[in-house]
Amino acid sequence: MTGRLVVCPTPIGNLEDVTLRVLSALRDADVVACEDTRRTRVLLDRYGVKARLVSYHEHNEKARAAELVRRMREGAVVALVSDAGMPLVSDPGFLLVRGCVAAGLPVEVLPGPSAAITALVASGLPADEWHFHGFLPRKKGEVRRVLTEAGRTIVAFESPRRVPTTLAVLAELDPEREVAVCRELTKAHEEVIRGAAAELAARYAEAAPKGEVVLVIGPASASGDGAAGPAGLDALRRLVDAGAQPRKAAAVVAELTGGSANALYRALTARE
């Protein structure tokens, strides 16, 4: 059989969420590339899968990808897994997939668990149009930019210790914006806390959540930055570029769109 890559999503918490197709692919692969061989071994031992493991993580990705592509060109079947969820989605794997595409090697992607999709559905927030941002930036100005530019539901990974700060920024921008803090999904202590940004900012101000967190942030409310949306912010930026005073221009755009002049001004300055 021709060498190929099989991308295998693994459980995000509960080991029983692995699919039969993934287990079959792991058994049949000549080699399994994984972030942490010890963590993957726990899953394989649970189901009696004997497989040869090699490390594939952010520190060796470039060299390992070239090595694995070479092996696949010689006929090997490589299974790619990350520590949890779908490889490439905020996890290593991009260089390997790109290498396979460039070499004309088949890439088979199996369906399976995803923290982003699980959180989106559990949040109860609009799922018809949404944006996955991966891990949110650390700087407040960059977080503001992400939150003010999106006129749709945002799904993002966040460090538990930064959740209070992120919620405080969101509450300042749009206190009524709906948010869900999804913690430890599929695990024994799974928790989904839903509420307005101001409410959740107050809840977590004194104590950050524990465990792995996915934030789901609904579309902006009528009283926040998103009332004008990206179009309003773009209009403000064009006025300022043409020579208008930022605060006066923000007031004009807010009057025309029904948005907040202060919020528009903050969104503009956050980008600078």
Residues whose CB falls within 8 Å of the CB of residue 134, separated by 6 or more in sequence, listed in order: 89, 90, 156, 157
User: Is the pLDDT assigned to residue 223 strictly greater than 60?
Assistant: no
pLDDT at 152: 87
pLDDT at 227: 45
Contact (CB, 8 A) for 135 and 158: yes
Per residue in 189-206, pLDDT (tens digit) is 999 999 999 999 999 998
Mean pLDDT of the chain: 91
Residues whose CB falls within 8 Å of the CB of residue 238, separated by 6 or more in sequence, listed in order: none
Q: Which long-range contacts (CB under 8 A, 24 or more apart) does 72-76 make?
A: 72/3, 72/4, 72/5, 72/100, 72/103, 72/105, 73/3, 73/103, 73/105, 74/3, 75/1, 75/2, 75/3, 76/3, 76/30, 76/31
CATH superfamily, with its number, for domain 115-217: Tetrapyrrole methylase, C-terminal domain (3.30.950.10)
What pTM was estimated for this model as a whole? 0.78
The rounded percent of the chain whose pLDDT value lies above 70 is: 92
| Tokens standing for residue 178 | 């709906």
Q: State phi, psi for 50 to the nearest 5 degrees.
A: -100, 115
Instruction: Indicate the domain borders of the chain.
Output: 4-109, 115-217, 225-270
pLDDT at 105: 97
Per residue in 230-259, pLDDT (tens digit) is 667 778 888 999 999 988 888 888 777 766
Question: Within 10 Å of residue 163's Cβ, how many Cβ atoms?
Answer: 20
Per residue in 60-92, pLDDT (tens digit) is 999 999 999 999 999 999 999 999 999 999 999
Assigned CATH topology for domain 4-109? Cobalt-precorrin-4 Transmethylase; domain 1 (3.40.1010)
- Among 152, 128, 137, smallest CA distance to 229 is for 152
How far is C-alpha 173 from the geometric centre of its chain's CA atoms?
A: 21
The rounded percent of the chain whose pLDDT value lies above 90 is: 72
Per residue in 121-173, pLDDT (tens digit) is 999 999 999 999 999 998 888 888 888 866 789 999 999 999 999 999 999 88
Give Cα separations from 10 to 94, 110, 114, 138 (angstroms): 17, 10, 9, 28
